[in-house]
Structure 1
Amino acid sequence: DPGTGVLTAASWRGAAEARLDRLGGHGPGPAVLLLDLDHFRLLNDRYGARIGDAVLRAVAGTLRDEVRAADLVGRSGGEEFAVLLPGTGAFDAMAIAERIRLRIASTLVALKASGDGPQFVGVTVSIGVAGCAAGGLADALPAAETALLRAKAAGRNRTVCAEPDVSSS
């Protein structure tokens, strides 16, 4: 994705499918994270596309910083990102997702300097987590999407796992 420096949705999907094929069910996981920026449309409407793009770049940069080299990060939609975590079970994926959520919540993007000094805007994300079982991405992505919707319905700025036995925050 030229705007954020992460994979496009189609590239991410293809790379994720190839990675899952290579793993062939060996080891724990993998897991999928779906992230959606909370109230991004309002932020974009209030501050403009330039600031919205800067926020997207900041979130993409945080994702790249917080994941391992073997993990795949892509932009799956306007303000949505997807992460494939090979070799990661649901419990560890929740810990990674929560670390990402907290790091993004602490990231500020400069608006501009004014007479009162510099002004900044922050953003939060809701994250859905799902394991990739035998059904692969075909099952994991809808499960992560459902978990993401539950995170938003529960008040946003939280991480929810599709696995019923993994606690959510």
Structure 2
Amino acid sequence: AQLDRLGAHGPGPAVLLLDLDHFRRLNDRYGARIGDAVLRAVADTLRDEVRAADLVGRSGGEEFAVLLAGTGRFDAMAIAERIRLRIASTLVALKASSDGPQFVGVTASIGVATCPAGGDLADALLAAEAALLRAKAAGRNRTLCADPEP
């Protein structure tokens, strides 16, 4: 519906797929309450970093998807990298200890793909997923684009 509303004018949408790095380890170590707080903080970051016309959703346990309306490759990569850096700097308070307050945070791996105007979003999602898998295999906490260099 969002794609139909945007029409075929200008660049098509871009897709970002994000996976929180080693989230299960964090959840196992600190518990589901802290894990949920981290997920909420990441969701808030995503909503803060995109425009009102863009769509943000949780696509799995520690996975998120973002549909950037009318966004070309260069801008999509810039937005994804800004999101990645912001997530890496987001901290959730654990508890105060004798050493002072303690915090926990996560990093994210992001796959980016663009969808030409009138193109198939399913193809862009598959391409973004492949880029995400490459980002994770390359060491995590990075943004990779599925599209070739212009």
- Checking the alignment, whether the CA contact within 8 Å between 1:29 and 1:90 is kept in structure 2 is no
Asked whether 1:165 is paired with 2:149, we answer yes
Deviation (angstroms), 1:26: 1.1
- Checking the alignment, whether the CA contact within 8 Å between 2:16 and 2:128 is kept in structure 1 is yes
Other-structure match for 2:122 = 138
Deviation (angstroms), 1:135: 3.5
CA displacement, residues 104-123 of structure 1 (integer Å, 9 cap, x when unaligned): 00111101111111000110
- Checking the alignment, whether the CA contact within 8 Å between 1:20 and 1:136 is kept in structure 2 is no
Deviation (angstroms), 1:137: 1.7
Deviation (angstroms), 1:138: 1.2
In 2, the alpha carbon distance for the partners of 1:139 and 1:126 equals: 20
In 1, the alpha carbon distance for the partners of 2:9 and 2:26 equals: 42
Other-structure match for 1:59 = 42
Deviation (angstroms), 1:23: 2.0
Q: Provide the TM-score with structure 2 as the length reference.
A: 0.96
**Where does 1:33-52 land on structure 2 (aligned, <5 Å)?**
33-52=16-35
Deviation (angstroms), 1:136: 2.3
In 2, the alpha carbon distance for the partners of 1:46 and 1:112 equals: 14
- Checking the alignment, whether the CA contact within 8 Å between 2:12 and 2:119 is kept in structure 1 is no
In 2, the alpha carbon distance for the partners of 1:68 and 1:81 equals: 16
CA displacement, residues 10-33 of structure 1 (integer Å, 9 cap, x when unaligned): xxxxxxxx1111223211131000
Deviation (angstroms), 1:49: 0.3
Asked whether 1:150 is paired with 2:150, we answer no
In 2, the alpha carbon distance for the partners of 1:148 and 1:26 equals: 28
Please identify runs of 4+ aligned residues in structure 1 that moved more than 4 A.
Answer: none
Other-structure match for 1:121 = 104
- Checking the alignment, whether the CA contact within 8 Å between 1:51 and 1:111 is kept in structure 2 is yes
The CA RMSD over aligned residues, in Å, is 1.0
Other-structure match for 1:101 = 84
- Checking the alignment, whether the CA contact within 8 Å between 1:63 and 1:100 is kept in structure 2 is yes
Q: In structure 1, what residue type is equivalent to 2:124?
A: A
- Checking the alignment, whether the CA contact within 8 Å between 2:20 and 2:63 is kept in structure 1 is yes
Identity %: 88
Segments of 5+ residues of structure 2 without an aligned counterpart are none
Segments of 5+ residues of structure 1 without an aligned counterpart are 1-17
Deviation (angstroms), 1:160: 0.3
In 2, the alpha carbon distance for the partners of 1:135 and 1:87 equals: 12
Q: Provide the TM-score with structure 1 as the length reference.
A: 0.86
Deviation (angstroms), 1:63: 0.4
Task: Give the number of equivalent residue pairs.
Answer: 149
Q: In structure 1, what residue type is equivalent to 2:78?
A: A
Q: Secondary structure at the match of 2:95?
A: strand
